[in-house]
Amino acid sequence: MEKFVLGLRALPLLFVFLFNSIAYAADVDRFAGTYTGNAEFMADGEKQRRDLSTTITPNKNGFTLSWTSVTYKKDGRTKEATYTIEFVPSPREGIYSSAMKVNVFGKRRPLDPLNGEPFVWTRIEGDTFSTYSLFITESGEYEMQEYHRTLTEGGLDLIFRRIRDSELQREINAFLAREE
């Protein structure tokens, strides 16, 4: 009988855990898909163009976020950068922790910004899926990169900001169309 009562006491906790897991999945599912677009912006006094893509893929433990940026240089060269990061729900609703490294116990965890690695997390608030990446430089200054992806008809409005020690270094705005 005592085990039965203990089991009944655990039932509400199980319900909360399952409900939160379903809620997390539902939030991410709204953003799931592949999006592509391009942006023109001023950098160092010159107009630059970038092709951009983002893919958000839910999985059983959270989701995977991949994004690519192709920059076209004035001299005809191109520079392509692709990043792929796994995210898992944090104990805080709507906030996801990056899972970029595996510790000695096999648990996935974020990187360590004090070792020169980026600390990355994502927040879902309403129709906006925001990803933050914090870097601590060798001199102890910081750089924050913010990617705000807001659901709109046909895709995502993207706002990218790079901030170094409270000063806005770059802002790029673009529309990324949902691929079918």
- In this prediction, residue 130 carries a pLDDT of 98
- In this prediction, residue 109 carries a pLDDT of 64
CB 48 within 8 A of CB 42: yes
Q: Is the pLDDT of residue 52 over 90?
A: yes
Q: Domain residues of the chain, as ranges?
A: 2-178
- In this prediction, residue 23 carries a pLDDT of 44
Cα separation, 137 vs 129, whole angstroms? 26
H or E element in which residue 5 lies: helix 2-29
Tokens representing 164 are 């170094």
CB 108 within 8 A of CB 94: no
The CATH number that domain 2-178 falls under is 2.40.128.20
Residues 6+ apart with CB under 8 A from 177: 35, 36, 37, 154, 155
- In this prediction, residue 144 carries a pLDDT of 96
**What type of residue sits at position 159?**
I
Q: Is the pLDDT of residue 15 over 60?
A: no
CB 151 within 8 A of CB 31: yes
- Indicate the SS3 state at residue 24: helix
Tokens representing 107 are 């648990």
**What type of residue sits at position 115?**
N
Q: State the chain's mean pLDDT as an integer.
A: 85
Cα separation, 143 vs 133, whole angstroms? 8
To the nearest 5 percent, what fractions of the chain are helix, strand and coil?
A: 15, 60, 25
Mean pLDDT of 106-125: 78
- In this prediction, residue 45 carries a pLDDT of 81
Which of 102 and 55 is assigned the larger pLDDT? 55
- In this prediction, residue 24 carries a pLDDT of 43
Cα separation, 120 vs 113, whole angstroms? 9
Mean pLDDT of 11-25: 43
Tens of pLDDT, residues 130-143: 999 999 988 999 99
Q: Is the pLDDT of residue 122 over 50?
A: yes
